[in-house]
Amino acid sequence: MSAEGSDSRFPLFRLLVITGAIFVAVSSEFLPTGLLPDIAAELHVSESRVGLLVTIFALTVVVSTAPLTALTHRFPRKWLMVTMLGVFAVANFLAAISPSYEFLAGARVLGGLAHGLFWSVTGPYASRIVPQRQLSRALAVTNAGGTAAFILGVPFGTALGHALGWRLAFAVMGGVVLVFLLLVVLALPHVSHLVTLKTGEIALPLRQDRTVPAVVIVSVTILLLAVGQNAYYTYIVPWATQVGGIPAGDVSALLFGYGAAGAFGLLIAGLLGDRFPRGALLILALSVAVTVAALGIFGAASPVIVVIGMIAWSVAFGGIPSLLQGRMMHSASLRLRDTAAAWTTISFNVAIGGGAFLGGLLLDGFGIRVLPWVEVAFVLAGMLFVVLSDRRRMGLLPLHVGR
């Protein structure tokens, strides 16, 4: 099936292949976080320098995604995804044989170059193999790969690295990437992503597409909702131990529960996102604000409240990235979808880095108890922005969306 929406059946297996590809991509991105002491000890650098590997990866994504997406606009989507997975595999294998910190950082840059372009392909790819009415459901399925990476991929890689060495963890991850590369080759159809002009139409630069302002609106929405999330969650371990009273030995179990609970948020997004796209987003965002505010008020009272609050928080936020990605795909014209997906990736990575930076500044200046309220403020601002900007965004929607 190459034409968008040419088959009304829900292509679950094909979507699960994309889910698996996203799983290995996200697992590769965050693998160093669980192996900081091991890598630092062997390469004779500080743990903070090893932590910078995640920052280097994210910065590479932010800088490279838009230009690489533009340069590869005419390349076949399936084979571009295959190529990016191949680069992920090579980056992991190079990391496994790194003789120095600088070599390892170079391998991370290579992975970051592939990561942004990979995301600019996967979101639109899912939208091109399902009818428009199934888009939110399809994106909920594929985004489960990112959730699974935090529940299974990173913890498994961490356990493997601790048991048999961090180099083997990277090598095994590279091998898993190759498995999903083969599945993409065998299972995914070719899709048509280039929009053919009608007779008499003139090809305009993408910057003159009438849906560009709608893409900007969704990008701002992503920043508002995700900056606060990362300002707080980046420092959730010290908050949970210092404020919430969670024993240090129980933090890993708490984070596992948080990651697993996010899957229920994805389920909500899949069930409600196609029928009530704005309502589902606003309800989940409001739920985030309420649960995080409850943590800010009552978190110091009991570790039980912290556990319940964090699970509820994860359920609420778990479906938001999928809904925002669907919102972006609905808002962009067919020919702008790849570029829009690239800006989705850029917006989320800016929010990850910017939120962590902002949280660190506020942590040093005002103390750790202020961080939940930072998220509440940003989420409420994001909700207000959605309400105020949505009429403008709806007026820009492409004709194929019809809503």
Whether the per-residue pLDDT at 402 is higher than 80: the answer is no
Burial class (CB in 10 A: 0-12, 13-18, 19+), 3: exposed
pLDDT score at 17: 92
Mean pLDDT across the chain, nearest whole number? 84
User: What confidence tier does 5 reach under pLDDT thresholds 50, 70, 90?
Assistant: very low
DSSP 3-state of 75: coil
Percentage of the residues of the chain whose pLDDT score is greater than 70: 91
Whether the per-residue pLDDT at 201 is higher than 90: the answer is no
User: What confidence tier does 48 reach under pLDDT thresholds 50, 70, 90?
Assistant: low
Cβ atoms of residues 144 and 259 within 8 Å: no
Question: How many residues are there in the chain?
Answer: 403
pLDDT score at 297: 95
Cα-based distances in Å from 397 to 217, 218, 249, 302, 345? 12, 12, 50, 47, 21
Whether the per-residue pLDDT at 359 is higher than 90: the answer is no
Pull the structure tokens for residue 342: 């690239």
The 10s digit of each residue's pLDDT in 89-129 is 999 999 999 999 999 999 999 998 998 889 888 877 887 88
Whether the per-residue pLDDT at 391 is higher than 70: the answer is yes
The 10s digit of each residue's pLDDT in 289-314 is 999 999 999 998 889 999 999 999 99
Q: Determine the Cα–Cα distance for residues 218 and 225; give it in Å rounded to an integer.
A: 11
Q: Which residues contact 363 (CB under 8 A, 6 or more apart)?
A: 235, 370, 371
Q: Which residues contact 219 (CB under 8 A, 6 or more apart)?
A: 328, 343, 344, 346, 347
For the beta carbon of residue 292, count every other beta carbon within 10 angstroms. Answer: 28
The 10s digit of each residue's pLDDT in 137-146 is 888 888 888 8
More confident residue, 202 or 264: 264
Cβ atoms of residues 356 and 230 within 8 Å: yes
Pull the structure tokens for residue 267: 């389920």
Q: Which residue shows structure tokens 């500044």?
A: 361
Whether the per-residue pLDDT at 67 is higher than 70: the answer is yes
Mean pLDDT to the nearest integer, 77-85: 91
Whether the per-residue pLDDT at 205 is higher than 70: the answer is no
Q: Determine the Cα–Cα distance for residues 332 and 212; give it in Å rounded to an integer.
A: 7
pLDDT score at 8: 63
Mean pLDDT to the nearest integer, 320-339: 83
Give me the amino acid identity at 17: V
Mean pLDDT to the nearest integer, 48-68: 81
Q: Would you give the distance in Å from CA 1 to the centre of its chain?
A: 27
Cβ atoms of residues 65 and 342 within 8 Å: yes
Residues 380, 138, 32, 90: what is their CA dihedral angle, to the nearest 10 degrees? -140
Whether the per-residue pLDDT at 69 is higher than 50: the answer is yes
Residue in 296, 27, 36, 288 with CA at minimum distance from that of residue 176: 27
The 10s digit of each residue's pLDDT in 232-285 is 887 887 888 889 998 877 877 887 888 888 888 888 888 888 788 899 999 999
Cβ atoms of residues 15 and 142 within 8 Å: yes
Cβ atoms of residues 58 and 110 within 8 Å: no
For 251-285, give the DSSP string: HHHHHHHHHHHHHHHHHHHHHHTTT-HHHHHHHHH
Whether the per-residue pLDDT at 136 is higher than 80: the answer is no
Residue in 261, 354, 269 with CA at minimum distance from that of residue 313: 261
Q: Determine the Cα–Cα distance for residues 279 and 194; give it in Å rounded to an integer.
A: 32
Q: Which residues contact 341 (CB under 8 A, 6 or more apart)?
A: 69, 119, 120, 121, 122, 123, 124, 325, 328, 329
Residue in 147, 174, 184, 133 with CA at minimum distance from that of residue 13: 184
Q: Determine the Cα–Cα distance for residues 82 and 95; give it in Å rounded to an integer.
A: 20
User: What confidence tier does 199 reach under pLDDT thresholds 50, 70, 90?
Assistant: very low
Percentage of the residues of the chain whose pLDDT score is greater than 90: 35
Helical (H) or strand (E) element with 390: helix 371-395
Phi/psi at 37 (nearest 5 deg)? Answer: -65, -40
Cβ atoms of residues 257 and 151 within 8 Å: no
Cβ atoms of residues 353 and 55 within 8 Å: yes
pTM for this prediction:
0.75
Q: Determine the Cα–Cα distance for residues 173 and 321; give it in Å rounded to an integer.
A: 25
Whether the per-residue pLDDT at 29 is higher than 50: the answer is yes
